[in-house]
A and B are shown apart, each in its own frame.
Chain A
Amino acid sequence: MASRLHFVSFLLLLVVYPAISTNSEGEALHALRARLSDPTNVLQSWDPTLVNPCTWFHVTCDDRNRVIRLDLGNSNISGPLGPELGRLQHLQYLELYRNNFEGKIPEALGNLKSLISMDLYGNRFQGEIPKSFAKLKSLRFLRLNNNKLSGSIPRELATLSNLKVFDVSNNDLCGTIPVDGPFTNFPFQSFENNSRLNGPELQGLVPYDFGC
């Protein structure tokens, strides 16, 4: 019943949308909403007929109406993320922690060149950590812990010199842990509870993806 209602309202939104909205960031967020199930109506204020998403709740814009924060932690939301989020070129904080997001983490999130904090922890994300995250040069906080991520930790992430906190604990990662760049500072708790993670990489001795 709820899903039917959701479908009907989505259809209604589609009908209204072509007539009015031309803000591409609003469109991206609207496309995100269309995929999600939102039983507590956290996204109720996300009206695509508004000229920009800056008055939507849980969306923060700068003074030029560009989205800089998305705060949806602890909101009981489920469903997959899509590549459209990668269009938010001024996004600094992507806070999606403690929900029921599922599916893969989109490669397109690597396009968020202004990103400072990405919190996807406490969800059901699966698949690999995208190598494209190496493009997130401003990133300081990357918390992907408590998901179902697999594959290895991309060693390209060692180029993120601003990365201060990196947490991939409680996943299903394998291979070895990078040891250079910011990885020299991360405590062991950042990697714990990954049964197939083999400890720090032994450079020059063992192939990087050993055990994966």
Chain B
Amino acid sequence: MESRLFQNLLSTLLLLLLLPFLLAMGSASLASQGRALLQWKASLQSQGLSLQSWKPSASPCNWTGVTCNVTRRGLRVITEIYLSNTSLVGTLDALNFSALPSLTNLNLSFNQLDGTIPPTIATLFKMSSLDLTSNQLTGKIPFEIGSMRRLQFLNLSENQISGSIPPSLANLSRLNYLLLYGNSLSGTIPEELGRLRNLVFLKLADNLLTGFIPPSLGNLTRLYKLALYDNKLSGTIPQELGNLASLVKLVISNNSLTGSIPSSLANLTMLSMLYLYNNNLTGTVPRSFDNLRNLTDVRLFNNSFSGSLPAFKNLVFLDLLGNNFSGYLPPELCSGGMLQHLVVSYNNFEGPTPRSLRNCSSLTRVRMERNQLSGNISESLGVYPYLNYIDLSFNQFSGNLSAKWGKCANITSLRISNNKITGKIPPEIGQLAQLRVLDLSSNFLVGEIPKNASMLVSLYQLNLSNNKLSGEVPKDIGKLSNLEILDLSKNNLSGRVPEKLGDCFKLRLLKLSSNNLNGNIPFQIGNPVNLLDLLDMSHNSLTGDIPSQISKLVILQDLNLSHNELSGLVPPSLRDMISLLSIDLSYNELEGPLPDSQFIRRSPIEWFAHNKGLCGEVQGLPPCHTFSTSKAGSAKHHKVVLLATVPVVGTLFLLFLFGGATFLLLRRRNNTVQDASQKMEGGAFSIWNFDGKDAYEDIIQSSPAKWQDSCCQKD
């Protein structure tokens, strides 16, 4: 009996001693894990509908976003939590990480979690994938994360994390993905990161990182993508990066890097994407880049690169805008048949376009403007069914515009201005239903503007100025209802200004100057009431009056009708054009009073000079008077009248006397000489009917204006 009591006491004591261990095992139990999660849920301000299933009454393994697994001991434990984009609002502070030792995957991305990343997260020692992307987390990256030895995927991107990147992350020897982009990380890139031999993706972009790119990054021989763009990195591109044998994507654009591209980068045989744009890089692109067969997307724009290009062949995307590149473009550039985006503008390239461009039907966007390229484009260019935008302006291209352009059905912008293009504009251009901008200005184009041009219904900008075009402005130009800018200046166009131009109600700039246009300005010119910037028809042979309807253009800022043969009065309604900043009516045949407005009164005389007889309250012009002329003028007037009339009156008086005497004589001899005298009488009476006095009155009362013009012409 005694021994039994003793045995009971011993077992109870043993139980009591083992209790803490039992409890410890229990703390890793599913129930305690669930409790930790519920505690966290309770701390959140909002969870949307996603955590509705998180209830004590249900097993945590059935909760939304929770995945369980069975341990070797047969215990069920939580291994994964996936709550991406579930409207979580709150912090991580109440999440007791140490209560979840079995957790391997935690994804809380795309929520509105704020606060800091608790250092206790490091107790998740089994964690292999941690994703907190796109929240509002602040504070620093805890250095303790460096002790999470099993971590393979770490994504803290798109938060507001600050401070520097802890060098302890270098201890994460299994790490494949290190993604910290889109934060406010500062300081330098720790050179210790070069120890992460298993790294496949390193993305530190869009932060405030400074200092150099550590050469030790060249040790990351498994690296597929190195993205350091959008930072404030300086120094040169380390030549050690040439050791990154697996590298496919190198993106270090938008930094302050200097120096040149190390030739060792030609060893990156897998390299496909090379973005170095927006830096201060100099030097040439290594010729050995010829060997990079996998290179498809090269963006080097906005640097100070020079020299000529290597023989690129398989590119899909090439953007070199704004450098000092020279020499010829590689002839085999499109030999892979994949080139879509070709931008080489603002460089010093010369020679012809690459011969492989002729059959490069994959092209979608081409910009070559501002180089010294040459050659015959009717031969060197082909048909591009997917081409959306092309600008070849400011080069020395020659040849004609071929009819092939009509087959580029998707083209929205065609600019070849400031070249040496000759020949006619092909009527096939009218087929380009998507064309928004057509700029062929400053070339040597001849012939007429094709009638088909009126089919370009999407066109909003048409510039054909400074060519040798002849013929008329197409009469149905009014069909271009989207036209906003029309510049046909500096050509040899003839005929009239089409009335239908008034139908282009969206027109904001109209320039027809320096042509041979004749006839009247149609009154319909007042219809495009949105004419805002400029109406210029100067240097033509326009005649007739300025139509008063022009004053409907109340928002027009600049009006130039100078150097024409416009006559008549300036319409008084012009004073309604309240937006005018300048008006030029000089070198015409205009006369009469100028409209009276504050704007006109303050105008310089040059705007009205060289006309027939304008007057008005403008300094330099004579003031206007109606029937009363000036004293000097009227005295002269009277003098001229007297000089004219005195001899006439004198002659008439003498004739009167002579006629009267003849009449009396003839009456005495009426019978004998009747036949003969009748004839004579008829003659005498005809003189008699002339009333000299009335004629004098007529001359005195003739219109003063007529007189004034012939006497007071001014230069």
Contact = CB atoms under 8 A, between A and B. Distances in A.
Interface string A166-179: 00000000000000
Contacts of A73: 506, 508, 530
A140 to B, nearest CB: 8
Contacts of A185: 598
B437 interface: yes
Contacts of B508: 71, 73, 95
A57 B437 contact: yes
A187 B484 CA distance: 29
Q: How many of chain B's residues touch chain A, expressed as a range?
A: 20 to 34
Given A18-B182, A71-B484, A73-B506, A143 B436 contact: no
B107 to A, nearest CB: 19
Given A45-B436, A74-B505, A165-B578, A57 B460 contact: yes
A95 B507 CA distance: 13
Contacts of B230: 22
Interface in A33-64: 45, 51, 55, 57-58
A80 B132 CA distance: 34
Contacts of B254: 22
Given A73-B508, A74-B506, A95-B532, A57 B598 contact: no
A181 to B, nearest CB: 15
Interface in A169-208: 185, 187
Nearest to B415: A55
Task: Give the one of B182, B254, B278, B506 with max A CB within 10 A.
Answer: B506
A164 interface: yes
A51 B275 CA distance: 13
Contacts of A18: 158, 182, 206
A55 B206 contact: no
B579 interface: yes
A165 B532 contact: no
Interface in A66-121: 71, 73-74, 95, 97-98, 117, 119
Contacts of A117: 532
A119 B555 CA distance: 10
Interface string A5-45: 00000000000001000100000000000000000000001
A141 B506 CA distance: 19
A95 B277 CA distance: 33
A73 B581 CA distance: 21
B530 A51 contact: no
Contacts of B158: 18
A165 B579 contact: yes
B552 to A, nearest CB: 14
Contacts of B29: none
B578 A57 contact: no
A106 to B, nearest CB: 23
A74 B555 CA distance: 15
Contacts of A51: 277, 301-302
A73 B482 CA distance: 11
Contacts of B581: 140, 164
Nearest to B230: A22
Contact of A57 (B436, B530, B532, B555): B436
B412 interface: yes
A146 B206 CA distance: 45
A98 B230 CA distance: 40
B63 interface: no
Contact of A55 (B389, B506, B578, B598): B389
A141 B581 CA distance: 11
A165 B505 CA distance: 22
Given A45-B412, A57-B437, A57-B460, A74 B579 contact: no
A18 to B, nearest CB: 7
B510 to A, nearest CB: 15
A117 B506 CA distance: 17
A57 B460 CA distance: 9
A105 B301 CA distance: 38
A141 B556 CA distance: 11
Interface in B476-534: 484, 505-506, 508, 530, 532
Contacts of B578: 164-165, 187
23 contacts: A18-B206, A22-B230, A22-B278, A45-B436, A51-B301, A51-B302, A55-B367, A55-B413, A57-B412, A57-B413, A57-B436, A71-B508, A73-B506, A73-B530, A74-B505, A74-B506, A74-B530, A119-B532, A141-B555, A164-B579, A164-B581, A165-B578, A165-B579
Interface of A: 18, 22, 45, 51, 55, 57-58, 71, 73-74, 95, 97-98, 117, 119, 140-141, 143, 164-165, 185, 187
Given A51-B302, A74-B506, A119-B555, 17 more contacts: A18-B158, A45-B412, A51-B277, A57-B412, A57-B413, A57-B436, A57-B460, A73-B508, A74-B505, A74-B530, A95-B508, A97-B530, A98-B530, A119-B532, A141-B579, A164-B581, A187-B578
Q: Which 9 residue pairs are nearest across A and B when measured between Cβ atoms? A: A74-B506, A165-B579, A57-B436, A165-B578, A22-B254, A73-B530, A141-B579, A22-B230, A45-B412
